[in-house]
Amino acid sequence: MTSAGSAGPSGSAGPSGSGGPSPSPPRPYLTLAGPVEAEIEAKRSRFRCRLERVDTEDAARAVVEAARREHWDARHHCSAFRIGPPPQVAQRSSDDGEPSGTAGAPILDALGGAGVSDVVAVVTRWFGGTLLGTGGLVRAYGDTTRAALAAAPLVRRVTRRRLHVTVDAVSAGRVEHALRGAGHLVETSYGESGTVLTMAVDPDDVDAVRAHLNAVTAGAAVVSAGDLRWVDRPLP
């Protein structure tokens, strides 16, 4: 594949940091909830696009090779992928024998236009006997990818900061009730220093949650920030 971009991690969103202001969290982005396929026909040539969610270049290339093995009778398996959170998105594309810029680029443009990442698109073409020309190929590869995107189940990838709240056993039930009442999902564990309540919150809400805990416990709660993680959230 060609057309390089810059890479960024799509698993851990980075350390929590200490001793200074925390860096701004990566921006949310859209990705697939599951694989999807779509097919169109142009002048008797068939174009079938498969979209899959991936988190590495090797995984993306494996999807392309799987399509090549499955559809061994097709002439071209053109592809593109975008991986990582914006603005650090790694992207590549391949024309796989089609005229330069007529296949991989329009596939990549369709992915970028939809705002998705951690996605690979493979468009397999069965030649129908009629040449489509440069413009026809660009339209066919782009339209096939957009058709698959229109049918794709999407989720939003967002970051959440894990917070660990240590309170004494007497206060634990009351504090947990207050947190659940505020809409937080709470995990409870027990340590030598007290009861530990763990939850994942929007990075922008960390200060507000700390203030809420200080009010509920009269400043007795010990709050420590954990790692920043990517999680999937359904679209509204």
Q: What is the mean pLDDT of residues 125-135?
A: 95
pLDDT per position as a tens digit, 32-82: 999 999 999 999 999 999 999 999 999 999 999 999 999 999 999 999 999
What is the Cα–Cα distance from 127 to 15, expressed in whole angstroms? 50
Q: Is the pLDDT of residue 4 over 60?
A: no
pLDDT per position as a tens digit, 147-205: 999 999 999 999 999 999 999 999 999 999 999 999 999 999 998 889 999 999 999 99
Token code pair at residue 167: 């309170």
- Check whether residue 112 and residue 134 sit in a common domain: yes
> Shortest CA distance to 36 belongs to which of 20, 52, 54, 21?
52
* Residue 20, pLDDT score: 46
What is the Cα–Cα distance from 147 to 212, expressed in whole angstroms? 47
**Domain range holding 107?**
29-152
Q: Is the pLDDT of residue 87 over 70?
A: yes
| Structural domain contains residue 23 | no
> Which of 152, 182, 214 is the last residue in one of the domains?
152
- Check whether residue 124 and residue 166 sit in a common domain: no
pLDDT per position as a tens digit, 30-40: 999 999 999 99
Within 10 angstroms of residue 222's Cβ, the number of other Cβ atoms is 14
Neighbour-count burial for 119-131, b at 16+ CB within 10 Å, e otherwise = bbbbbbbbeeeee
Q: Torsions phi, psi of 225, nearest 5?
A: -90, 135
> Which of 152, 182, 199 is the last residue in one of the domains?
152
Q: CB-based contacts of 187: which residues, under 8 Å, 6+ apart?
A: 197, 198, 199
- Check whether residue 45 and residue 112 sit in a common domain: yes
Helix%, strand%, coil% for the chain, nearest 5: 30, 35, 35
pTM: 0.81
| Structural domain contains residue 138 | yes
Q: Is the pLDDT of residue 23 over 70?
A: no
> Which of 130, 152, 174 is the last residue in one of the domains?
152
- Check whether residue 142 and residue 209 sit in a common domain: no
Strand order across the 36-42 sheet: 36-42, 45-53, 119-126, 76-83, 90-94
CATH of the domain at 200: 3.30.70.240
- Check whether residue 222 and residue 173 sit in a common domain: yes
What is the Cα–Cα distance from 152 to 128, expressed in whole angstroms? 27
> Shortest CA distance to 67 belongs to which of 95, 42, 46, 37?
37
- Check whether residue 120 and residue 35 sit in a common domain: yes
- Check whether residue 146 and residue 165 sit in a common domain: no
What is the Cα–Cα distance from 117 to 142, expressed in whole angstroms? 17
Domain count, the chain: 2
| Structural domain contains residue 225 | yes
| Structural domain contains residue 75 | yes
| Structural domain contains residue 76 | yes
